[in-house]
Homo-oligomer: A and B are copies of this chain.
Amino acid sequence: MSDRPTFDLLAEDPSGARRGRLHLLRGTVETPAFMPVGTQATVKAVTPEELVGLGAEIILSNTYHLYLRPGHELIRELGGLHRFMHWDRPILTDSGGFQVFSLAGLRTIDEGGVTFQSHLDGSRHRLTPEGVVAIQEALGSDVMMVLDECPAHPSPRDYLERSLALTNRWALRSLAARSRPDLALFAILQGGAELDLRRRAAQELGAHPFDGFAVGGLSVGEGQEVMLETLSATTPHMPREKPRYLMGVGTPLDIVEAVGLGVDLFDCVLPTRTARNGMLFTSQGPVAIKHARFGRDPRPLDEACDCYTCRNFSRAYLRHLYKSREILASRLNTLHNLHFYLGLMRRIRTAVESGTYAGFLRDFRAAAASWGEGGHRMD
């Protein structure tokens, strides 16, 4: 607990990887950290107690979704998002920018904000930078994100340039609108794949007293190579003493690479969504549990794993549950995949602490290459 959010940079590995500690209103987060995604005030298929058991120190929820349903005023009345969902550790809320700008054709943007139609019922709504901060303060988010415009990839240079300028103006309005200094506010750096725009975003926003900085607008179809190139042109210009968050990323290899470029925080639906689709991360690479070869296999999913699923159930049973569309399939698979991701973050932190991250990264790349492109081929 602390009155104001702070970040301790504990160690920097020669590779560029960082080991840190983020102090937020509801608790401390050891970084590099992965935030399981709980879009609708629940990390799909798991309880808060299970998340604690898995070692999650912070989760992500979504302003856009909670604003529409059940509504931030309702959540405020009920004591805030933590109490509503029975999770007492930190929560970061995405601003809704990404979701609103995904509603192509259903939204119009102007200097003041964005007007859009709900994906739920078509009702019209308007979000402004100030309004989005107010919503997140109503929710009681430990980390609030500014409203930004997230351009599609690819977008023309002149569009990206104008969009970035707007996003940066919105970020400063958000900072001015904040009324609760105990809740962190992170800016979001945009600029598409234009490296000079990314640098400009980092420099312009980095001059202001945000509590952290996110790299947005990546992992939107540009491919891993462009993503890492963009990231490596951005992080050197970001404030060293503030946490860095790469939004919506990614595969295990994406995360390992991005840590090497100095990123501290990650979120992604990948481990939870793929779990529900029967795609499981293992020490031997990712697998699709539906495959017939698992049908009579009495072994645990990952013989090197000590999660609840691997301690108690066979591949044959997991395949049976998945084929039978049982809810327990989603539960057991989600527990396993989150255990994999959160365990990976622990291994990453240990490697950074011991100054051996370059070797860790090299070994991980080699292993991922043996699994296939992107480290999540589902063979």
Contact = CB atoms under 8 A, between A and B. Distances in A.
Interface residues on A, range: 20 to 34
A331 B70 CA distance: 20
Contacts of A295: 70, 74
A211 to B, nearest CB: 29
A349 to B, nearest CB: 29
B327 A330 contact: yes
A131 B231 CA distance: 64
A84 B45 contact: no
Given A69-B323, A74-B296, A330-B327, A41 B317 contact: yes
The 4 A-B residue pairs with the shortest CB-CB distance in the complex, in nearest-first order? A45-B327, A42-B328, A70-B320, A40-B324
A46 to B, nearest CB: 8
Contact of A45 (B314, B324, B328): B328
B74 A44 contact: no
A312 B296 CA distance: 40
A47 interface: yes
A326 B44 contact: yes
A316 B70 contact: yes
B326 A42 contact: yes
A79 B314 CA distance: 11
Contacts of A42: 321, 324, 326, 328
A159 interface: no
A8 interface: no
A84 B316 contact: yes
Interface of A: 40-42, 44-47, 69-70, 74, 77-79, 84-86, 295-296, 298, 312-314, 316-317, 319-321, 323-324, 326-328, 330-331
A78 B74 CA distance: 50
Nearest to A298: B78
A79 B324 CA distance: 20
A328 B84 contact: no
Given A47-B331, A328-B47, A74 B316 contact: yes
A84 B317 contact: yes
Copies in the complex: 2
Interface centre among A77, A296, A314, A324 (most CB of B within 10 A): A324
A81 to B, nearest CB: 10
Given A320-B69, A320-B70, A84 B327 contact: no
A327 B324 contact: no
Contact of A69 (B40, B70, B317, B324): B324
A45 B328 CA distance: 5
Contacts of A312: 86
Contacts of A330: 327
5 contacts: A44-B326, A69-B320, A74-B296, A74-B316, A84-B316
Contacts of A316: 70, 74, 78, 84
Contacts of A321: 40, 42
A202 B277 CA distance: 49
Given A42-B326, A69-B324, A85 B317 contact: yes
Contacts of A326: 40, 42, 44
Nearest to A44: B327
A323 B121 CA distance: 13
Contacts of A324: 40, 42, 69
A75 to B, nearest CB: 9
Nearest to A296: B74
